[in-house]
Chain A
Amino acid sequence: MSSSGNDPRQPSSAKPYKPQPVHPDNLPIDYSGFIAIIFGVAGVMFRYKLGSWLALIFCAQSLANMKNIETDLKQISTGFMFAIMGMVTNYLSPARGAVKT
């Protein structure tokens, strides 16, 4: 099935690659980052350990699926912040220790 005719190549018409600009609104939605934020907030609000851990896991997923560093990093960092905040409130808060003892 070779293309008929002689060499089909045309170096003169070659153009270097130009990445097509993608509008930030057209990017696929980062669901895992969104879920991470929800779990993170739940973890902080209700002192729900598992929530914070799940937030951390979904942060990792979001990070693994990151395509555009600039736009995605914002959401991931918010999710991560909530997760860390939840961790701190859950494990380091004095109130919890008082309850335990």
Chain B
Amino acid sequence: MATPRSSFFFSPRCDTLLYLIALLSLLLHHISADSHFEGFDADDDLEDDTVLFQPPLSDLPRRPPPAPTTLSTPSDPESHHGPPVPQSDPDLNPKTTSFDYWDEDEFEGFPVDNNNVITPPEVIKTTSDDSVLNENENEKARVLEPVSLSKRIRAYTVEMICVSFLIMFAVNYFTGKKENENLALAWAAKFATKDTIFDKNFSLLGVGEGDNSPLLMKEGQNVFKFYASGRRYCQDLVATMELKSRQDLIAKLYNMVVPCKDEITIEVRMNEDAMDHVVFALGKKKAAKVMHKEVRDLQRFASLMTAGPNGRKWVADELMVITESKEVAGDLITETVLDQVFGEKAFQSLGKLFISLHFSDQQQGTHKKMLVFKFALPDVNHMADMTRLVALVPYYIDLIGRYKLSSQARSKTEAARSKVAQEAYKEQQNERQEMLQRKKAEKKKMMEEAASKLNAEALRKKEAKERARQLKKAMPKIKMSRGA
């Protein structure tokens, strides 16, 4: 009853085994009275069903007893050559085959392993020598097999790890990509579709032309751009979303150690005539100090503002203002802004999403008059959290578009700008002079080289002449006549 299944199980093995198993089944019928074998049968079934699962090892000691019983009936012609082998075979084979899937290291020192190998020969020693030899050979083959296989498996661990990592990487690439796209689309849906903040403020939305143009442009798998244009005071607005590298498993693992945020940078290019002299930045204390050190225009024109104007509500304690003059800061941070975003109360909820503001008419790059807003993006389901932050954008465009400095402050800022301009001019001139000098030096060098070349050439010519003359002298004087 167990044979058809077990033979199926062993099919990749050699035919002799099949034959042996068939013999065993016959034998089993012979000695079905034995109580041990009844249990054994059930075990066999179990093993067939669950190849990887090692059945109770306690049945191993049970195996030896049947051996004498079968051998005690040598009169049976069939059992003459058959019995010794099948005895251990049917039970051993499932063991070894299931053994193949084991990691040897994991089961080191496992007692059964030894029993398995040693007990059968011991049992057989009591019987004929002939069968002992036979059995030993079989054992050898069986013992060798799992070792070489596990060795082979160990030799390919690198490959297995790498291939599985690559597969994980590929799966993560697609899921991460989708996740990033969803986040960007959620942002666009919240702020750039019909009757939303950007739609109410800009006449053209999206990177293409026409009404049906795509809103977002994808640059790489984690950078998305949104474009809007057609508003008073400004030329255009570019929002760049730099999301986490979710598509990159290695970066993802790295970010587990060094966390980062999904960021959005909104850059508004102001019209040339719509922005007065304003250099202003706002950020969390640490970040603001870094900005003041690293951003050039802030470094040149602005200074950290440690305390707000007297008798007025001011920004939350975590924030730091960098500004060219106190007047500008006071005018740009209005009551409404304090009430909605930067006040102590409002900032408690919005603080985690705010990174920095930077308004300047002296920005580096091609366009000087620019407002830069940096925010962190909330997750897909909480996009509405940043509505008030995004609303800052049109608010400040209007505020700065209309803003005019007082004449007093203006004279100061103008002085500062002219000073910087002068410095820049001087620097430029210096550079130009250096260039001129370098050119001159190069020219001189070239001339010298040419001259030396000329000299060398003249020398060579002279030498050649000399040599020719000497050759002429050395040549034997032979006259040649030319034949007609």
Contacts and interface: CB of A to CB of B under 8 A. Distances in A.
Interface in B410-453: none
A1 B336 contact: yes
A94 interface: no
A54 B398 CA distance: 53
A60 B395 contact: no
B232 A1 contact: no
A24 interface: no
Interface string B76-106: 0000000000000000000000000000000
Interface centre among B173, B220, B251 (most CB of A within 10 A): B220
Interface string B216-229: 01011111000101
A56 B166 contact: yes
A14 interface: yes
Contact of A65 (B203, B209, B245): B245
B220 A17 contact: no
A88 to B, nearest CB: 15
A14 B204 contact: yes
14 contacts: A1-B395, A3-B395, A11-B230, A13-B230, A13-B232, A14-B203, A17-B236, A60-B166, A61-B249, A61-B250, A65-B220, A65-B245, A65-B247, A65-B248
Contacts of B272: none
Contacts of A49: 158-159
B219 A57 contact: no
Contacts of B223: 67
A101 interface: no
Contacts of A14: 202-204, 229-230
Interface of B: 158-159, 162, 165-166, 169-170, 173, 200-204, 206-209, 217, 219-223, 227, 229-232, 235-236, 245, 247-251, 336-337, 340, 366, 388, 391-392, 394-395, 397-398
Contacts of B245: 64-65
Contacts of B204: 11, 14-16
A15 B205 CA distance: 10
A93 interface: no
B236 A15 contact: yes
A17 B207 contact: yes
Given A15-B236, A67-B219, A3 B201 contact: yes
Contact of A4 (B235, B250, B398): B398
Would you list the 7 A-B pairs with minimal beta carbon distance, nearest first? Answer: A14-B230, A67-B220, A53-B162, A14-B204, A11-B203, A17-B227, A9-B203
A1 B163 CA distance: 55
Contacts of A56: 162, 166
Contacts of B249: 61
Contacts of B247: 64-65
Interface centre among A5, A8, A49 (most CB of B within 10 A): A8
Given A17-B207, A57-B169, A3 B398 contact: yes
A3 B227 CA distance: 20
A4 B229 CA distance: 19
Contacts of B166: 56-57, 60
A32 B248 CA distance: 11
Nearest to A72: B220
A53 B159 contact: yes
Interface string A46-61: 0001100110110011
Interface string A1-44: 10111001111111111011000000000001000000000000
A66 B220 contact: yes
